[in-house]
Structure 1
Amino acid sequence: MAHPFDALTAEHMRAGGSWKWSTPGESHGRGLIGAFVAEMDYPVAPAVADAVRWSADASAFGYLPDGWVDDMAVACSAFWGERFGWAPDPAWVRPVPDVLTAFTATVRHFTRPGSAILLPTPAYMPFLTVPGMLDRELLQVPMGRASGRPVLDLEAIDRGFADGAGLLVLTSPHNPTGRVFDADELAAVAEVVERHGARVFSDEIHAPLTFGDARHRPYATISDAAAGHTVTATSASKAWNLPGLKCGQVILSNAADAEHWTATGYLAEHGTATPGVLATTAAYRDGRAWLDEVLAYLDGNRALLAAADLPGIAVTVPDGTYLAWLDARGLGLDEPPSAFFTREAGVVMTDGAACGDAGRGGMRLNLAMSRPVLTDALARLRSAIRGM
């Protein structure tokens, strides 16, 4: 039977007005397919839609009251406890507009002034640019490969800390490669960080989006040491498709950090949107069945990608997130691959160079679209390759 998501055509998405689809464009007479921005094309969970409607009907657009923050924190803690085996103290779950706000606050308030920031690459694009805006040096740490999958280079991370870096940015599950790190690898990271007295900013915004045997492990739960040096950031925005509602969460994992956040975190919290908090609470509390349905649909899209015939492209099918990594260096292009495929296939992907030096020659493909549209996108990529 056809899934309701299958009816979400490219024309329907272009009419919706999101950034991902707002540039109709033409490529050999075909409209562009938006596959770059990390958001899903699927309608939100009924519980989320009800919460947003209620906020409008109740004119709940005023400044955010403590009671609704508390409700969100309890719902977030309960969801994380059920899904990941860690139910953080709700008092240590604080609102922020988004993960980048949490990152900025972490750099400013939890790291040594002037210390450099380590970033495994390829990486989520803003993590490469925000440190410079904060007058911090960014040290890119290219990821390695083992058993055909991207892995963290622990020796390079160790050298970076030895050279004076004070913070490691860990994105788990990893954006853009879709890697879900296992407990042993995270424990090895924690040992390196602790040995240097450094900190970790753990971006776990994609935590609920894992497939098969892959299971997200919150970094702060790896050890007491990890809990003591970590600031975790997350949001319902990726798993429930709410990025425009501007609500994320900072999760503290030790009393000293919680006390410090109370003293310094006001401005970071202040821009959180009241409707976003209400929608997030509904997502964590009542949106689990919808999430499971979406995961099953995304898993079908993963299978479609895994079976795709894309000569010259090494495809990394994600263990988590809805973002796949396509290594196009085998095509021998003399231009960025995303530019080639935008022009020749009409499929707009994130160019790997935007994800750091280690990403050059690659592309990030968003799988969170209807299966017929993804089928069309993959066929276009294949046709463009064959036409070279």
Structure 2
Amino acid sequence: MPAQTHQHRFDALTADAMRAGGSWKWSRPGLDAHGRGLIGAFVAEMDFPPSDAVADAVRDSVVQNRFGYLSDAWVADLADAFSSFWSDRFGWSVDPERVRPVPDVMTAFVATIEHFTPPGTPVLLPTPAYMPFLTVPGRLGRELVPVPMAPASGPSSRWALDLDALDAAFTATGSKLLVLTNPHNPTGRVLTEAELAAVTALVDRHGARVFADEIHAPLTFDGRVHRPYAATSEVAAAHTVTATSASKAWNLPGLKCGQVVLSDAASAERWAEVGYLPEHGTATPGVLASTAAYTHGREWLDEVLDYLDGNRALLRDADLPGLGVTVPEGTYLAWLDGTGLDLDEPPAAYLAREAGVVLTDGAACGSPGGMRFNLAMARPVLSEALDRLGAALRA
């Protein structure tokens, strides 16, 4: 691994400290085949401590006894902070009246299926995908139609939506909903405006809707800037429900606060009719912390992005024989292709046992043989994880 050029404060976060912290990402029990503690690299959360603004907001919620149900004023503060951040960062001027709180993106997904699509119609999902997107439609009595993306085929290639396959799937199934995750979990793609325009034309031609999961929007690299799908055209805005959260960019998943953006009048009216239950359960401390993140957490976010960029470089230079490696353009999630390995078991299972690095099995993402790898850990821990993976692959 390349030598560290300077010590960053995040470098002091050890694997032992993470295990002692008790989060799901680090709570898998046991040791690997060599007696080493396991390194958690599967759950999509960061190991880094929160921004001062977020920590202060959570402390203030305790001191000021802000544990009651959400007030309209707190919801309005969140909507204003969200709209200001998204306007400044992404150029999308969202009417705060169209921004509503939900506990998380998956709550918004369920509501979109139930209230914005015809009963019984299937859901189209490009794969690989965030794991719950593959299972939630079935729990709601809907068919899930996976549509494989066109995979990266070399170091300079990129995963891409297969528009012809999506077109055929719309025609064959009568689906009225496409799940569009951008930046993409788990391949790390940041879609271009041209790609988004092609999606708009496709969805409009089939009279369908888009559920736009943009939870990783602030996490982009190499000069790329997230472009909100609903902001690309009036046509896109009219058929989109956008869901996002501060939870990924500021590491707040346990505080249970997301945002839904209704980008056309008809959707906003529909949400006003059905939104009570999806909104109910949004955590007051999460709303206050998210408001603080959007308003005062930008310097911390930029520091994290710089640190994550260094972790991306570490992955790019790693010696991982036999694996296809997709370094993310956005998110902190890399995709590893282990389909070329000569194994009698899923690569994720082999590497958990032999390297002690716990990755997300690609089968859970709809792409067996692949693996999702979370890079958002202290760089010395990531360096150890990559060394372990390389040694296991060379064994």
TM-score range, shorter chain: over 0.9
Provide the rounded CA distance (Å) in 1 between the counterparts of 2:81 and 2:207.
33
Code of the aligned partner of 2:385: A
Secondary structure at the aligned position of 2:340 is classed as: helix
Code of the aligned partner of 1:306: R
1:106–1:231 CA contact under 8 A, matched in 2: yes
Provide the identity percentage: 71
Of 298, 311, 317 in structure 1, the residue corresponding to residue 321 of structure 2 is: 311
Secondary structure at the aligned position of 1:52 is classed as: helix
For each residue in 1:327-379, what CA deviation from the matched residue of structure 2 results, as whole angstroms up to 9, or x when unmatched?
Answer: 011212111111000000000000000001xx111100000000000000000
Matched residues, number: 385
1:14–1:24 CA contact under 8 A, matched in 2: no
Secondary structure at the aligned position of 2:124 is classed as: strand
| Runs of at least 4 residues off by over 3 Å | none
> Is 1:373 matched up with 2:381?
yes
1:96–1:248 CA contact under 8 A, matched in 2: yes
Provide the rounded CA distance (Å) in 2 between the counterparts of 1:259 and 1:329.
47
Structure-to-structure mapping, 1:259-338, within 5 angstroms: 259-338=269-348
1:288: how far off?
0.2
Code of the aligned partner of 2:108: A
For each residue in 1:201-229, what CA deviation from the matched residue of structure 2 results, as whole angstroms up to 9, or x when unmatched?
Answer: 00000000000122211000111110000
- Show the counterpart of 1:8: 13
> Is 1:352 matched up with 2:357?
no
For each residue in 1:47-85, what CA deviation from the matched residue of structure 2 results, as whole angstroms up to 9, or x when unmatched?
Answer: 000000000111110010000000000000000000000
1:159: how far off?
1.4
Provide the rounded CA distance (Å) in 2 between the counterparts of 1:261 and 1:160.
28
Of 144, 148, 156 in structure 1, the residue corresponding to residue 157 of structure 2 is: 148
Secondary structure at the aligned position of 2:178 is classed as: strand
- Show the counterpart of 1:210: 220
Provide the rounded CA distance (Å) in 1 between the counterparts of 2:167 and 2:192.
19
- Show the counterpart of 1:105: 111
> Is 1:26 matched up with 2:31?
yes
1:148: how far off?
1.5
Of 128, 131, 139 in structure 1, the residue corresponding to residue 137 of structure 2 is: 131
Provide the rounded CA distance (Å) in 2 between the counterparts of 1:100 and 1:145.
26
1:247–1:277 CA contact under 8 A, matched in 2: yes
For each residue in 1:233-252, what CA deviation from the matched residue of structure 2 results, as whole angstroms up to 9, or x when unmatched?
Answer: 00000000000000000011
Secondary structure at the aligned position of 1:94 is classed as: strand
- Show the counterpart of 1:51: 57
Provide the rounded CA distance (Å) in 2 between the counterparts of 1:289 and 1:176.
26
For each residue in 1:250-271, what CA deviation from the matched residue of structure 2 results, as whole angstroms up to 9, or x when unmatched?
Answer: 0110011001100111100011
1:232–1:250 CA contact under 8 A, matched in 2: yes
> Is 1:72 matched up with 2:78?
yes
Provide the rounded CA distance (Å) in 2 between the counterparts of 1:290 and 1:87.
23
Unaligned runs of 5+ in 2: 1-5
Code of the aligned partner of 2:168: R
Alignment TM-score, normalising by the size of structure 2: 0.97
1:103–1:201 CA contact under 8 A, matched in 2: yes
For each residue in 1:297-335, what CA deviation from the matched residue of structure 2 results, as whole angstroms up to 9, or x when unmatched?
Answer: 000000000000111001000000000000011212111
Provide the rounded CA distance (Å) in 2 between the counterparts of 1:289 and 1:199.
35
1:156: how far off?
1.2
- Show the counterpart of 2:263: 253
Unaligned runs of 5+ in 1: none
- Show the counterpart of 1:83: 89
Code of the aligned partner of 1:233: A
Structure-to-structure mapping, 1:157-176, within 5 angstroms: 157-163=166-172, 164-176=174-186
Code of the aligned partner of 2:121: S
Structure-to-structure mapping, 1:205-244, within 5 angstroms: 205-244=215-254
1:24: how far off?
4.1
Provide the rounded CA distance (Å) in 2 between the counterparts of 1:145 and 1:244.
32
Provide the rounded CA distance (Å) in 1 between the counterparts of 2:105 and 2:309.
25
- Show the counterpart of 1:179: 189
Secondary structure at the aligned position of 1:364 is classed as: strand
Secondary structure at the aligned position of 2:159 is classed as: strand
Code of the aligned partner of 1:270: H
Provide the rounded CA distance (Å) in 2 between the counterparts of 1:105 and 1:223.
24
1:145: how far off?
3.5
Provide the rounded CA distance (Å) in 1 between the counterparts of 2:282 and 2:295.
19
Secondary structure at the aligned position of 2:135 is classed as: helix
1:311–1:385 CA contact under 8 A, matched in 2: yes
Provide the rounded CA distance (Å) in 2 between the counterparts of 1:270 and 1:313.
44
> Is 1:363 matched up with 2:371?
yes
For each residue in 1:13-59, what CA deviation from the matched residue of structure 2 results, as whole angstroms up to 9, or x when unmatched?
Answer: 00101010112421111000000000000000000000000001111
Provide the rounded CA distance (Å) in 2 between the counterparts of 1:384 and 1:76.
44
Secondary structure at the aligned position of 1:149 is classed as: coil
* Stretch of structure 1 that moved more, 31-40 or 141-150: 141-150
1:96–1:269 CA contact under 8 A, matched in 2: yes
Secondary structure at the aligned position of 1:201 is classed as: strand
Provide the rounded CA distance (Å) in 2 between the counterparts of 1:278 and 1:70.
11
Provide the rounded CA distance (Å) in 1 between the counterparts of 2:273 and 2:64.
32
Provide the rounded CA distance (Å) in 1 between the counterparts of 2:177 and 2:352.
36
> Is 1:61 matched up with 2:67?
yes
For each residue in 1:116-146, what CA deviation from the matched residue of structure 2 results, as whole angstroms up to 9, or x when unmatched?
Answer: 0000000000000000011000100000146
Secondary structure at the aligned position of 1:55 is classed as: helix
